[in-house]
């Protein structure tokens, strides 16, 4: 990052914390610069911004959010996504994309997963939302298979559940203006996929770890 991008990153992080009043809480493990995959519930376009901003600066600079390309590839948002957040932009699932993935599963996997594996192989961390779509801000939907696929491809990867509270009220779905409301960002203890653990068992356990932070 050049000077302008670093300055913009600091400014955006400060603005996000001011608007959301985000209170970062760490349960179990202290923040670390070691590689992690942070996985969180999803209810707002501000989710990854606030989570990223809640990380200590030295952690933030090596952590890249995974974000929807259709939203973050326009105008100023695109510049911020690419140069401030250094986001990994992925296409959201559509019926056509799902049908294509069924016909060519290996190609579908490569398009979605390989860019994330490249980030992990570079030594950097990721922020992702395994529900795959935005929820209502309280209920956490069943996780899609992506988190499991990453763990199969990179055994031993450390995962940190993060519960985001009130983000759906700061920027409600369909709105463009933010509403200042105090939010909480709760980081849980690091976990990893166990040897011999099946996909459904692992995803259920990961979701339970995230939901366990909801009333912490």
Superfamily of domain 3-211, CATH level 4:
Glycerol-3-phosphate (1)-acyltransferase (3.40.1130.10)
* Cβ-contact 192, 151 below 8 angstroms: yes
Residue 175 Cα distances to 67, 70, 172, 178, angstroms: 18, 16, 6, 8
* Cβ-contact 126, 66 below 8 angstroms: yes
The predicted-structure confidence for 169-178, as pLDDT tens digits, reads as follows 555 455 444 5
The predicted-structure confidence for 189-211, as pLDDT tens digits, reads as follows 999 999 999 999 999 999 999 99
User: To the nearest whole number, what is the mean pLDDT of the chain?
Assistant: 84
Stronger pLDDT, 168 or 94, i.e. the higher one: 168
User: What is the distance between the alpha carbons of residues 161 and 166, in angstroms, rounded to a whole number?
Assistant: 17
User: What is the distance between the alpha carbons of residues 45 and 171, in angstroms, rounded to a whole number?
Assistant: 7
Domain range annotation of the chain: 3-211
Pick from 216, 167, 156: which is nearest to 190 by CA? 156
């Amino acid at each position: 990052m050049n000077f302008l991008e670093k300055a913009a990153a600091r400014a955006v992080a400060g603005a996000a914390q001011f608007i959301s009043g985000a209170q970062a809480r760490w349960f179990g493990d202290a923040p670390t610069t070691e590689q992690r995959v942070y996985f969180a519930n999803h209810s707002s376009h501000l989710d990854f911004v606030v989570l990223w901003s809640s990380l200590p600066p030295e952690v933030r600079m090596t952590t890249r959010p995974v974000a929807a390309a259709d939203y973050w590839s326009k105008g100023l948002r695109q510049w911020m996504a690419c140069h401030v957040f250094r986001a990994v932009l992925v296409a959201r699932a559509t019926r056509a994309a799902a049908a294509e993935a069924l016909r060519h599963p290996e190609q579908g996997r490569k398009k979605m997963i390989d860019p994330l594996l490249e980030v992990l192989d570079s030594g950097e961390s990721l922020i992702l939302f395994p529900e795959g779509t935005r929820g209502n801000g309280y209920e956490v939907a069943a996780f899609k298979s992506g988190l499991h696929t990453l763990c199969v491809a990179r055994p031993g990867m450390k995962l940190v559940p993060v519960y985001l509270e009130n983000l759906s009220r700061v920027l409600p779905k369909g709105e463009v203006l933010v509403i200042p409301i105090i939010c909480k960002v709760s980081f849980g203890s690091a976990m990893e996929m166990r040897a011999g653990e099946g996909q459904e068992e692992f995803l259920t356990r990961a979701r339970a770890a995230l939901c366990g932070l909801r009333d912490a």
